């Protein structure tokens, strides 16, 4: 494993961010300043005062050599470590350099805050010899001017101004992933026999190996990277650099983050950009992001020039296990979700579980709804596995990389088996919509934003299980197991908000699965087995009102019209 060297001015947050990275990745953390102090038993300010800067730099050089001899360490370096050409060469040879950029004014404010904290805790504040004069801001500006070109030799730059340490750590993680620094076990690959056939690959840190995966497709070496603003800010620049270093020409398009981007207006804007770029029929679109990006860019790929190659690069759990697999693409209509779209299979799906490290907790958590769905509809063993490891999967402080990759690959294999049998949702594939009828309706009536997709699906699954229980299909104990697992993974299991029952019932009638004016519900018979059926309107109304309008639930004597899928 390669080391990671954090470089930058004092006050850029190298030590704080470095500790966060080491904790998140389970790697050792080293600080060259601390190594110097430990080896000679003196504070750095004392070394400067007694021996001079040149003696300190010699000690710092030895400390860096010691740190560089590690394997996979996160190393916070002193601000002036880049002044020595041997140091710069050693860091480039033994790892990857990440420049944490900061404006001098921000750096000074952070250093003063650190001094204030130390004094409140009764500690002696750290004295930084090069900033000890009457005008530390002028000193920081001078140091920045002298060193900036050396800092910018780094493989990636992450701005720290206006960001918390957690946000900077996520940005550094994204850069490490895109640069191919993170390594996991052997990639897990599933060939999907749909469309022209394609590989779905689960590879921890695999995003940084994208050029090699693209080369397998034997397509022109010009590609178009499309992403939303949030994902692009994290991954865009380092991933473009990785592609360009490997000889690929890559242009990028950034769209607004959020469900609202799945619109005719945004689709038209993508068409305009592709025309301006003179994109050709064999040149691939790379969809980098979550389900929104995959759906929208997938539909653009399906329709531009009557179809261009599509590569799905899902960065959310929800997209990795579901949205990126199977060729469903589309946009929303004011009257319903995904009402406009096409079935269009990608040429490649590359799911990198390491990208989940950079997701905010809520966005990572929503993806577990789709994973639980697979357990409910197809795989009782997967459901039990999730129950066993729910705490570790939700916590994610030290992600279980191997387990996570196996779960994602298992979900992909389950979905692949279904779509290979029924690519265009004429029969069995409909079971993948378990929990989605009410979930999509909830998203629609609340305006695509109040509830994330996975959160809405979780509530839809709770409602589906309640419907199945009320109709006499599912034991109460099984419905409770589902509810308990959703809750254990951090998902909502009860609706809190203004009553939406009437609007939900109206939205359900516009569901894509309506056939001959009847809604086709996916009902669980037991964990791991579901079937399609229609349900009496009065039963659906009763359960919807009870869950989204406050009425109590009693077991219904009304029968259901059952039809096996």
d(CA 289, CA 319): 8
Question: What is the token pair recorded at 340?
Answer: 């406009």
Question: How many Cβ atoms from other residues are within 10 Å of residue 296's Cβ?
Answer: 26
Task: Catalytic residue, from 88, 170, 415, 481: name it.
Answer: 415
Q: Is 54 annotated as a binding residue?
A: no
* C-alpha closest to that of 523 among 437, 444, 451: 437
Q: Is 13 among the annotated ligand-binding positions?
A: yes
Inter-helix orientation angle 401-421/368-377, to 10° = 50
Q: Which of the residues 155, 425, 443, 455 is marked catalytic?
A: 425
> Which residue among the candidates 59, 230, 364, 436 is catalytic per the annotation?
436
375 CB-side CA count, 13 A: 23
Of the residues 24, 88, 364, 440, only one is catalytic, namely: 440
Does 10 belong to an annotated binding site? Answer: no
8 A C-beta contact, residue 165 and residue 106: no
| 425 counts as catalytic | yes
| 206 phi, psi to nearest 5 deg | -70, -20
Catalytic residue among 120, 306, 498, 517: 306
Is 370 marked as binding a ligand?
Answer: yes
Q: Which of 370, 455, 466, 478 is catalytic?
A: 370
Sheet holding 29-31, edge to edge: 29-31, 74-76, 3-7, 95-101, 156-159
DSSP, collapsed to helix, strand or coil, labels residue 445 as helix
16 is in an annotated binding site: yes
Short-list 508, 497, 426, CA closest to 460: 508
Distances (CA, A) of 418 to 199, 344, 377, 455, 549: 16, 16, 11, 24, 35
Q: 357 among the known binding-site residues?
A: yes
14: annotated binding-site residue?
Answer: yes
| Nearest of 493, 422, 481, 418 to residue 454 by alpha carbon | 493
493 in a labelled binding site: no
Residue 315 labeled ligand binder: yes
Q: Any binding-site annotation on 307?
A: no
- Residue 42 is assigned to a ligand binding site: no
211, containing H or E segment: helix 210-215
Would you say 385 is a known binding-site residue? Answer: no
Backbone angles phi, psi at 312, to 5 degrees: -90, 125
Is residue 57 marked as binding? yes
Close Cβ partners of 28 (under 8 Å, ≥ 6 residues apart): 22, 70, 72, 73, 74
195 known ligand binder: no
Is 291 annotated in a binding site? The answer is yes
Q: Is 388 labeled as ligand-binding?
A: no
Length of the chain counted residue by residue: 565
Neighbours of 360 (CB within 10 A): 11
Q: Is 379 annotated as a binding residue?
A: no
Tell me whether residue 433 is one of the annotated catalytic residues: yes
Given the residues 97, 453, 512, 542, the one annotated as active site: 453
* Active-site hit among 3, 87, 332, 433: 433
Closest CA to 437 of 509, 346, 374: 509
Residue 370 known to be catalytic:
yes
Residue 230 annotated to the active site: no
Q: How far apart are the first and last CA of the chain?
A: 49
Instruction: State yes or no: 11 annotated in a binding site.
Output: yes
Contact 83, 61 (CB under 8 A): no
295 is in an annotated binding site: yes
Is 15 annotated to bind a ligand? Reply is yes
Q: In terms of Cα–Cα distance, which of 550, 542, 437 is closest to 560?
A: 542
Q: Examine the residue annotation and report whether 241 is marked as an active-site residue of this protein.
A: no
The residues that bridge with 343 in the sheet, in sequence order, are: 328
On whether 128 is known to bind a ligand per the annotation, the reply is yes
333 is an active site residue: no
Query: Pick the catalytic residue: 94, 373, 429, 512?
Result: 429
Closest residue by Cα to residue 294 from 354, 334, 348: 348
3 is catalytic: no
Q: Which residue is catalytic, options 94, 230, 328, 410?
A: 328
- Whether residue 141 lies in the annotated active site: no
To the question of whether residue 20 is assigned a binding role by annotation, the answer is no
Q: Is 33 annotated as a binding residue?
A: yes
**C-alpha span between 251 and 447 (Å, rounded):** 32
DSSP H/E element including 86: helix 85-94
Per the annotation, the verdict on 436 as an active-site residue is: yes
The binding site for Mg(2+) consists of 15
The binding site for NAD(+) consists of 291-295, 315-316, 328, 337, 355-358
The binding site consists of 11-16, 33, 57, 79, 128, 147, 291-295, 315-316, 328, 337, 355-358, 370, 436, 453
The binding site for substrate consists of 33, 57, 79, 147
The binding site for ATP consists of 11-16, 128
Residues taking part in catalysis: 306, 328, 370, 415, 425, 429, 433, 436, 440, 453
The binding site for Zn(2+) consists of 370, 436, 453
């Amino acid at each position: 494993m390669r080391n990671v060297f954090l470089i930058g001015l004092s006050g850029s947050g190298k030590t704080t961010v470095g500790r966060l990275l080491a904790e998140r990745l389970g790697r050792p953390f080293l600080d060259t300043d601390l190594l110097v102090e430990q080896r000679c038993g003196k504070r750095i300010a004392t070394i400067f005062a007694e021996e001079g800067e040149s003696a300190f730099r010699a000690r710092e050089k030895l400390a860096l050599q010691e740190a560089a001899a590690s394997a996979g360490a996160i190393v916070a370096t002193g601000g002036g470590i880049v002044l020595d050409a041997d140091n710069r060469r050693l860091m480039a040879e033994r790892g990857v350099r990440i420049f944490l950029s900061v404006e001098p004014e921000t750096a000074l404010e952070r250093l003063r805050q650190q001094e204030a904290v130390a004094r409140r805790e009764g500690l002696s504040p750290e004295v930084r010899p090069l900033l000890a004069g009457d005008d530390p801001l002028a000193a920081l500006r001078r140091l920045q001017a002298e060193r900036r070109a050396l800092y910018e030799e780094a493989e990636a730059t992450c701005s720290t101004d206006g960001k918390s340490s957690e946000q900077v750590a996520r940005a550094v993680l994204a850069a490490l992933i895109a640069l191919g620094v993170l390594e996991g076990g052997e990639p897990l690959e599933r060939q999907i026999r749909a469309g022209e056939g394609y590989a779905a690959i689960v590879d921890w840190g695999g995003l940084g190996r994208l050029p090699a995966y693209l080369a397998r497709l034997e397509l022109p070496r010009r590609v178009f990277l499309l992403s939303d603003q949030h994902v692009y800010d994290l991954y865009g620049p380092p991933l473009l650099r990785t592609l360009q270093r490997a000889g690929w020409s890559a242009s990028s398009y950034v769209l607004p983050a959020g469900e609202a981007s799945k619109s005719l207006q945004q689709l038209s804007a993508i068409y305009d950009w592709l025309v301006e770029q003179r994109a050709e029929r064999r040149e691939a679109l790379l969809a980098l992001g979550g389900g929104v990006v995959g759906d929208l860019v997938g539909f653009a790929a399906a329709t531009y020039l009557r179809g261009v190659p599509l590569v799905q690069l899902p960065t959310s759990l929800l997209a990795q296990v579901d949205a990126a697999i199977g060729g469903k693409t589309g946009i929303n209509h004011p009257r319903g979700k995904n009402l406009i779209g096409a079935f269009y299979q990608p040429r490649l799906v590359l799911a990198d579980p390491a990208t989940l490290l950079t997701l905010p907790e809520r966005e990572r958590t929503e993806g577990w709804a789709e994973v639980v769905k697979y357990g409910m509809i197809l795989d009782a063993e997967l459901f039990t596995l999730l129950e066993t490891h729910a705490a570790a999967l939700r916590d994610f402080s030290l992600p279980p990389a191997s387990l996570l990759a196996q779960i994602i690959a298992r979900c992909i294999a389950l979905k692949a088996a279904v779509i290979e049998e029924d690519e265009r949702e004429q029969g069995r594939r409909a079971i993948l919509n378990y929990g989605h009828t009410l979930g999509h309706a909830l998203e629609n009536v609340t305006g695509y934003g109040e509830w994330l997709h996975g959160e809405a699906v979780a509530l839809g699954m709770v409602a589906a299980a309640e419907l199945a229980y009320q109709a006499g299909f599912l034991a109460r104990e099984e419905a409770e197991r589902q509810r308990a697992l959703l809750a254990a993974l951090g998902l909502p299991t009860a609706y809190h908000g203004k009553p939406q029952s009437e609007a939900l019932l109206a939205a359900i009638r516009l569901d894509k699965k309506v056939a001959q004016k009847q809604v086709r519900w996916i009902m669980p018979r037991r964990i791991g087995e579901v079937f399609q059926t229609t349900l009496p309107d009065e039963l659906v109304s009763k359960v919807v009102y009870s869950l989204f309008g406050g009425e109590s639930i009693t077991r219904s004597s009304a029968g259901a019209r059952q039809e096996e899928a």
